[in-house]
């Protein structure tokens, strides 16, 4: 009996736990779970905003660059739209006005030829020089000299200063540079109107070149690096 009792006592273990102890264990487990979930939320919270901010900054930068590029493109298109080349008819009318102006000056010179002839002969007598030219040729030379001087003052010098001749002023045309933003040389503009344009018109081919390009630039424009634009 004693041995059986001893065995029964040794085999009979008491595993009962108090309710208070169980509640404390459950509370600790819940606290551990809450702490773990809080740590996970903190880690997620610290990592995601940075990525979001970086993405937002990158998208903002891209938007700024694209907006600037679009603005530059719009400005360039607007400038190109405002720069209009006159047609051949308008250019021809401006040239005809200048030629009519030159013809009027020559006609005025012929009317003033008798007065200029008197002063010329008087000047030669004072210098002791005999006049040997034919009177008709002399009158033509004097009228041409008057026309040239008057054309310098009224046509070519205004073109040199203001990039316009009387005909171009009346047709709202200005002489410019073919490259946008650059300015033509005043000396080349002067030579354009005085020398190269008459030669280009006389050759006829120099004017026909203006039909074969979009800017309607003639031969004298290519030589002098000029182009005509509508002056609003």
Mean pLDDT to the nearest integer, 208-231: 89
Nearest by Cα to 210 from 178, 168, 184, 181: 178
- Predicted pLDDT at 126: 86
Residue 10 banded pLDDT, cuts 50, 70, 90:
very low
Residue boundaries of the structural domains of the chain: 85-230
Segment 57-74 shows an average pLDDT of 60
- The pLDDT of residue 130: 80
Using one digit for the tens of pLDDT, what is the confidence trace for 150-197? 999 999 999 999 999 999 999 999 999 998 888 899 999 999 999 999
| The pair of three-digit structure tokens given for residue 18, joined into one six-digit string | 């108090």
pLDDT value at 42 more than 70 = no
What is the mean pLDDT of the segment spanning 90-98?
Answer: 93
Grade residue 215 by pLDDT with cuts at 50, 70 and 90.
confident
What pLDDT sits at residue 48? 47
pLDDT-derived band of residue 30, with 50, 70 and 90 as boundaries?
low
Residue 40 pLDDT greater than 90, yes or no: no
Mean pLDDT (the chain, rounded): 77
Strand partners for 227: 176
pTM of the model: 0.61
How confident is the model at residue 214, as a pLDDT? 78
On whether the CB atoms of residues 194 and 156 are closer than 8 A, the answer is yes
Between 67 and 178, name the one with better pLDDT.
178
Q: Give the SS3 label for residue 27.
A: helix
Concatenating the DSSP letter of every residue in 201-229 gives HHHSHHHHGGGSSTT---HHHHHHT-EEE
Q: How far apart are CA 136 and CA 130, in angstroms?
A: 16
Residue 111, CA atoms < 13 Å, CB-side half-sphere: 6
């Amino acid at each position: 009996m004693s041995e059986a009792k001893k065995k029964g006592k040794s085999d009979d273990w008491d595993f009962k736990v108090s309710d208070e102890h169980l509640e404390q264990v459950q509370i600790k487990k819940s606290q551990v779970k809450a702490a773990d979930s809080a740590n996970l939320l903190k880690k997620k919270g610290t990592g995601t905003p940075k990525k979001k901010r970086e993405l937002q900054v990158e998208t903002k930068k891209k938007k700024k660059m694209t907006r600037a590029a679009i603005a530059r493109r719009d400005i360039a298109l607007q400038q190109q739209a405002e720069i209009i080349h006159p047609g051949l008819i308008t250019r021809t009318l401006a040239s005809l006005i200048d030629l009519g102006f030159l013809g009027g000056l020559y006609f005025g010179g012929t009317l003033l030829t008798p007065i200029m002839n008197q002063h010329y002969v008087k000047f030669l007598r004072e210098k002791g020089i005999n006049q040997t030219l034919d009177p008709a040729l002399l009158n033509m030379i004097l009228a041409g000299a008057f026309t040239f001087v008057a054309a310098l003052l009224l046509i070519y010098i205004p073109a040199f200063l203001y990039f316009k001749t009387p005909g171009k002023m009346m047709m709202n045309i200005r002489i410019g540079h073919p490259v946008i933003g650059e300015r033509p040389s005043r000396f080349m503009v002067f030579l354009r109107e005085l020398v190269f344009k008459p030669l280009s018109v006389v050759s006829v081919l120099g004017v026909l070149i203006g039909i074969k390009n979009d800017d309607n630039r003639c031969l004298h424009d290519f030589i002098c690096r000029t182009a005509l634009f509508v002056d609003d």
